[in-house]
Amino acid sequence: MTEIVITGIGATTPLGGDLSSTWANLLAGKSGVVRLTDEWFAELPVQIAAVAAVDPSERIDRVKARRLDRSTQLALVAAEEAWTDAGFDWETGADSQVDPETLLVSLASGIGGLHSLLNNWDAQRDKGYRRVSPFTIPMLMANAPASNVGIQIHAKAGIHTPVSACASSNEAISLAIDQLRLGRAEVAVVGGTEATIHPLPLAAFGQMQALSRRNDEPERASRPWDRGRDGFVMGEGSAVMVIETLEHALARGAKIYGTLAGSGISADSHDIVQPDPSGGGQSSAMRKALKNAGLTPADINHVNAHGTSTPQGDVTEAGSIRAALGADADHAVVTSTKSMTGHLLGGAGALETVATVMALHDRMVPPTINLEDPEPDLGIDIAANVARPLPDGDLAALNNSFGFGGANVAVVVTNANQTR
C-alpha cells in the first residue's frame, strides 16, 4: 500500500502563533485558557475560552483579511507555515516541485464562518439589508477555509471539507489518506480550523451544560479525567499538515516528520449528542484504524485522546481505549492536549494529530494538566501533569476524535520513514 508521510506542519493555537511555540508550550504543560473580558460575556454563565495566542488578522494583508472569516484567516496562517515548512513557496503558490493536478486540500471546520454569519445578521437587523457585506456567503460557507488555501496553492485535484462536528478535521485527514492511496493525488494539505468564540456558541453549548463554568480559574478549567471536571473549554485555532506519498517526498528530498499509517471511521448511530455509553463505536474506529494501518494493539505506544473534560465523555473514552487495545493499553501513554488548548471543535483532530506526530518525532508525550484527582479505575495510563518520554525504536500512536452526530474517527501515526 502507498505510504503517506508528513513533510510540513503549521499551527496557530491558544498556545502560540506557530508550531514551535505551540509544541514547546504543550510539552511545558501551559494552559491557553483565559477569562473573556468583553462586556457582552459578563451575563453568560461561561466566561472562559482558549483564545488564539496571535490574532490572525495581524498576519494577513488588510484588504484580504476583511474578506475572510476569522476561521479562514487562522487556516491560512497555519497553511502558510506548513506549506513553507514543506519547502514550497507560498507567495506565488505555484511550485515546480508540485503538479497542481496532483495536489488536493482536505481541510475542515466544524461550524464554519460563524462570526461572519452573525456579524452580518447584526448589521442587517440594525441598519438594513444594504449593510450586508457581499462577501458574507463566501466568508461563512464551511468550505471557505479549504477553498482559500486551495486557491493560494493552486490545488486542482480537489478541495474537500468533510463536516462531522468535533471529528471533522480527523475525517479530513482520513479522507486525504484515502485519496492519496487511490492515486487521486500525490500531495495534500490537510487540517482543520475553528473560530467560534462568540457569545452565541458559548450560550448554546452552555445551555447544553457542556462547558466548564470554572470562570475564576480559567487555567484549571479543562481537566480531563479529573474528578473535578465540569465540561469542556471552547478553543480556537488551526493546524495544517502537508502530506505526500513517500515516493513523492523521497523524489524531492523532503524532510519527513512521520507517517500517516491509516485511519478508521465509525458511527454510533445512537444519539445526536451523547456518545454511545458502551464506547462500542469509539473502540470500533480505533480497531478499524489499526487494521487499516496493518498494526496491532501491541504496536501502540501512545494515544492522543479526544478527552474533552466532560463528565461522561472522558470515562466512556477510557473504557473504549481499554476495549480496543486490551492489555496492551498498559504500555500506551494516553494524554489529552485539550487540557491545555481547550477544544478546537472542527480543528481539534488536526491539532491533536499534529501533537501526536510531534510526540513520536520528539519521543515525548505532552502532559494532561490539571489531573489532580483522577477518576479511579480508568484502565489507561495517563501522562498526568508532566510530559512523558517514549522509548527508542519503532513508535505508533492513535489520535481519537469524536463528534456530535456520533462520528468517531481514529488516525494512526508512526515514526516509520522519519529521517531525522
Q: Shortest Cβ distance from residue 179 to another protein (Å)? A: 31
166 is annotated as an active-site residue? yes
Are 224 and 304 within 8 A, CB to CB? no
Grid cell 500512536 in the structure block, residue: 397
d(CA 263, CA 292): 6
The CB-of-116 to another protein minimum distance in angstroms stands at 13
**Torsion on CA atoms 12, 17, 23, 24, rounded to nearest 10:** -160
Measure Cα distances from 333 to 78, 150, 222, 267 in Å: 28, 36, 19, 25
Q: Between residues 152 and 169, which has the closer beta carbon with respect to another protein?
A: 152
Question: DSSP state, 66?
Answer: T
Give the SS3 label for residue 199: helix
Q: How far is the CB of 73 from another protein (least distance, A)?
A: 16
Nearer CB in complex with another protein: 130/420? 130
Check residue 228 and report its DSSP letter: T
Cα distances (Å, whole numbers) of residue 51 to 39, 63, 186, 331, 374: 16, 23, 34, 34, 27
Nearer to another protein, 39 or 61 (CB): 61
Say if residue 333 is exposed, middle or buried (CB neighbours under 10 Å; 0-12, 13-18, 19+). buried
Provide the sign of the torsion angle of the four alpha carbons 89, 93, 99, 102, taken in this order.
Answer: positive
Q: Do residues 316 and 282 touch, judged by C-beta distance below 8 A?
A: yes
Contact (Cβ atoms closer than 8 angstroms) between residue 324 and residue 298: no
Residues that bind another protein (CB under 8 A): 61-63, 66, 130-131, 133-135
CA distance 288 to 413: 14
How far apart are CB 142 and another protein at their closest, in Å?
A: 19
Nearer to another protein by C-beta: 138 or 150? 138
Residue 152 cell numbers, joined:
493560494
Q: Which is nearer to another protein, 125 or 131 (CB)?
A: 131
Q: Of these residues, 160, 248, 343, 361, which one is catalytic?
A: 343
For residue 24, how many other CB atoms are within 10 A of its CB?
12
Active-site hit among 115, 166, 302, 361: 166
Distance set, CA 351 to CA 66, 168, 336 (Å) = 25, 12, 11
Q: How far apart are CA 355 and CA 19, in angstroms?
A: 9
> Kind of pairing, strands 333-335 and 302-304?
parallel
Distance between alpha carbon 124 and the CA centroid of its chain, in Å?
33
**Is the CB of 39 or the CB of 91 nearer to another protein?**
91
Rounded to a whole number of angstroms, the minimum distance from the CB of residue 138 to another protein is: 8
Query: Between residues 62 and 420, which has the closer beta carbon with respect to another protein?
Result: 62
Instruction: Look up residue 61 and give its three cell numbers.
Output: 494583508
Q: How far is the CB of 68 from another protein (least distance, A)?
A: 13
Crossing angle, helix 70-85 and helix 114-127, to 10 degrees?
150
Q: Which residues face 318 on adjacent strands?
A: none
To another protein, the closest distance from the beta carbon of 63 in angstroms equals 3
Residue 302 is a catalytic residue:
no
343 among known catalytic residues: yes
The smaller minimum CB distance to another protein, of residues 1 and 63, is found at 63
Minimum separation from the CB atom of position 109 to another protein (A): 21
Active site residues: 166, 306, 343
